[in-house]
Amino acid sequence: MKSKKPISPRQKILDILKDHPAKVGELERGLNKSRKTIESTILFLQKRGHQILWDEGSRRYHLKQGLRTKFEPIAKDVLYTDKVVRKMGISETHIGGRHSQPHFVVLCVVCLRNREFGKIDLVCHYGDVHNGLKHQDYNRGENILNTVDLQVKAANEVMGLFENIPVFIKSGDHDDWQMTAVGTNMVKNLVNGLNLKKQVAGQKPSFSYISPDNGDQIQFNGFVFEFKHITTAQSRGLTTKPQYMFEDRLGDFVKALREEDARDKGIHLNMLSQPDHIGFGNWHREISFFHGGTAMDLYPGFQASTGWEKSMGIVHKFGAKIITLGKDKFGNVFRYDVRYLDFSDEIVNITKSDLETALMSFALKTFYDYKKKLLNVSDKK
């Protein structure tokens, strides 16, 4: 029997970097080679035309790759649901994290009331759109709103509604909120300003700044707000074709997550719950699996038309998408459908105000509605 040819160190490095960015230490362990050997091998690959880039911020090597066209199949038990699920997802500028998101359901009510889109099982918030610090420095199209300032403005207004409730505010766990002095100082200044308002009003200061490494409201026995954002054009959302996004990264990610969770809990893999919905988009789809098993679908928002958006076939400012995913009793997918909706003009028409004013109004209304629930939780401490 002919023995397999051993994989060369060069190919091993390429295989690792094709899968994910890696630190030097990981490459050393994966190849059982010294740092000097790793660095000289990478230099050789770079000279051969492989675009291996070093990112100083993350201290990782990245391999610049084109779009994949061939993919490995994903096991059905990882991917598919037990029934047809129709979800409408809304993306908008918001001030909260997963614990205290202001869900802008008001924006959908008019559209859903006439059942124009048929039966919708669930209305979801699909994450922040274009509202971090990074995009102020990028030239990918005209920014319609300075959404960083809008977030802080909204936080100043709505967080004043909380009385005698511990509130913890942090800069986000990815991108420029926590990686720059500008981002962390903006959040710290917000916390100081809110506490000053409480003192002036003769109330006890109840706001605290916490680091990005912390953040579970159970741990802190209060409410955690997170300022965050993701990139849109430089993430994995390089195409909207569902088979690309499903088969490119999502399957491997879910498998790894479930296996890791099983090891931590000491239970058999098959006993773990399945994700109840899988979508495609950018990093929120992956991050959200840590927060309840529902993938969040994200797409560009608050941005004028650009060549990149046109190439994706999505050009809108503020909207939603409806995903329908189902399988039959034999586990075969019999329906997959995505519809994109743009609510921008409708919001302006309904509210008779500009988009920024409308969003602020909706945010305030949402927090007034939630205030009683928040106070009830606080009273039970």
Distances in Å between the Cα of 313 and the Cα atoms of 80, 123, 310 are: 26, 23, 5
User: Using CB atoms within 10 A of its CB, is residue 236 exposed (0-12), middle (13-18) or buried (19+)?
Assistant: middle
pLDDT tens for the chain, 381 residues: list them. Answer: 455 678 888 999 998 887 777 888 889 988 888 999 999 999 999 998 888 988 777 788 888 765 333 333 333 333 334 455 555 554 433 333 222 223 333 444 444 555 555 565 554 443 333 333 333 333 233 332 344 555 566 566 656 655 666 677 766 544 445 555 666 777 788 889 889 988 888 888 888 887 755 544 335 555 555 554 432 222 222 222 222 333 333 334 344 444 444 555 454 433 333 332 333 333 333 333 322 223 333 332 333 333 333 333 333 344 455 555 455 555 444 444 445 455 556 556 666 776 556 655 554 554 455 445 444 543 443
**Inter-residue contact 324 to 337 (CB < 8 Å):** yes
**Inter-residue contact 144 to 304 (CB < 8 Å):** yes
Reported pTM: 0.33
**Inter-residue contact 149 to 156 (CB < 8 Å):** no
* Domains located in the chain, CATH noted: 9-63 (1.10.10.10), 76-379 (no CATH)
Phi and psi angles of residue 345, each rounded to the nearest 5 degrees, phi first: -65, -35
**Inter-residue contact 45 to 52 (CB < 8 Å):** yes
**Sequence-ordered alpha helix ranges (H) in 65-146:** 76-79, 106-113
Question: What is the spatial distance between Cα 102 and Cα 97, in angstroms, rounded to a whole number?
Answer: 9
Question: What is the spatial distance between Cα 131 and Cα 99, in angstroms, rounded to a whole number?
Answer: 18
